Chain A
Amino acid sequence: MKVTIDGQEIEVEAGTTILQAARMIGGESVPPAMCYYSKLQGSGGKCRCCLVEVAKGSDADPRPMPKLMASCVTGCMDGMEVNSKQSDRVREARQSVTEFLLINHPLDCPVCDQAGECDLQDLSFEHGKSKSRFIEEKRTFEPEDIGPNIQLHMNRCILCQRCVQVADQLTDNRVHGVMDRGDHANISTCISKAIDNEFSGNMIDVCPVGALTDKTFRFKSRVWFNKPYNAHRECTTPGCCGKTTVWMFGDEIQRVTGRKDVYHEVEEFICNSCRFDHKDPSDWVIEGPREFDKDSVINQNNYTQKLDTVTIATEEGILKGREQDRKKISMLAIPLDKEDQEKFNHGNL
């Protein structure tokens, strides 16, 4: 089947969704996805970030689809033409979804452990506005303890329900889910149970925002101060691959996560024993540095880049500024003509 996304053609198999096809093409036209997770069944369709415009349904039925479609749950048809980023309507819809996601979000990135690897940050960087139109009081939840390993910040949650699907599909006994409805819908355990399943830690990895964070890493470091390495160990937990990324600060392993690809999806799920209990570098066989895409904030501290001598341009800049100020305030030897006086008054001489 042939699909065209933003003018780029690709051959896909039947049953591929538009989002998957777009990811095969890669680049700018890949819709953002907050709730879709390719490793979890039944995910997607909820956040409405990945809306695309179907300009032509298929070769058989070329009518355009009237509504914007969620690309993560819409299957490709032969001859389908899709507009993603190049359509104004799609961009506008993504901007509005971003605005909706942010109105009740606490925007506490400065104290959030997810900052730097947060999908919502990426989304708002691309589609958000710097000003909010929301002047109402934000909706908040009472803090809740959901167990010894995972910290729940319900105020930050965007209800993608990935963590619920992890618990359904990886663990054998789900004890948490969505309670209440509407904007008071929240992730909670029923009733005040602790989440202690051996694979529950993957909830942290799949969480696109800082709603579920690692208690053993809490407030330890910003993610961009850590250096990620691929590592593995002989894990005895059945079902665990033992292949992880360890986040190091000096010789200390501060955090262990699954290995995440460019779409922030883990390659393989890992067990809690790997994640929380093995923080000694001697537990791990370090394979080498983990690569990150070039725009990632983690690259700010990248050790794979060539280290050039850093020139601090501060002094030069200060001197330049002083020179400009001097020109502005000093008395001129010759009085200016009318035109120059006008410019002088506005300070651009």
Chain B
Amino acid sequence: MEILVCARRVPDTSENEITLNSAGNDIERDELVYSVNEPDNYAVEEALQIAARIGGNVTVVTVGGEDDEEILRREMAMGANHGVLITDEAFSGSDGLGIATILKAFVEKGNYDLILTGVQAEDGGAQVGGMLAAMLDYPFASLVNSIEVLEGRKLKISREIAGGDKEMNEIDLPCVLSIQTGINEPRYVGMRGIRAVASVPIPTYGASELAVDPRSVGGAAARVKRVDYFLPALGKGAEMLEGSREEVIDRLVGLVAAKGGLK
């Protein structure tokens, strides 16, 4: 099975305190640590596990700049067969639709049976997978937390829905799935693994190679734009209880009792 995983490089929320910059219009990007978007990493692991079970190749693609090559290497160190970097000046500032348009052009150059994305990026809208599927007229399922390959170019998948329940579906190939964290336990990649693939060439594609009309993507074409970042007001609703711990507890017990919280 030929599997394509669309991945992104994002600031890692577990290793960064996301704060605003001094101008107050963007997040402070100095000293940010970037890594592969967490659900995307699960998607790569899932692709690798499927390929190991039934055979096939795993390609990881990202749309971005030179810096984003780092995550492709990491995913290749995990075992992905190919990494592809899609980069072009014309692509910068693309919204979700723009990214999906670019990816669609890339998908059409290949022959993929299964396309995986992470369910959502740290700064994304859980959108690219569903858009890409609709553009390709492939079936789509989001929040996928298990995949079983069936006979006859079909998959049996489950989706994580409310209450911890699982919605079981059958889906025809080719299809696009957005992967939820927890579907597997991604393998560890250390520096050694990354070094081992350091010299593997990573092909890059631009607008002309993909035959993407530059006017259909990029900032100018984007219908959705982030204007700025801001910090949500703190403690808007909560009345903060302060003072010695004893005082706080006394007041809290009073409040909770009044709300019927003590038997």
Tell me if chain B binds chain A: no
Residues of A within 8 A of B (CB): none
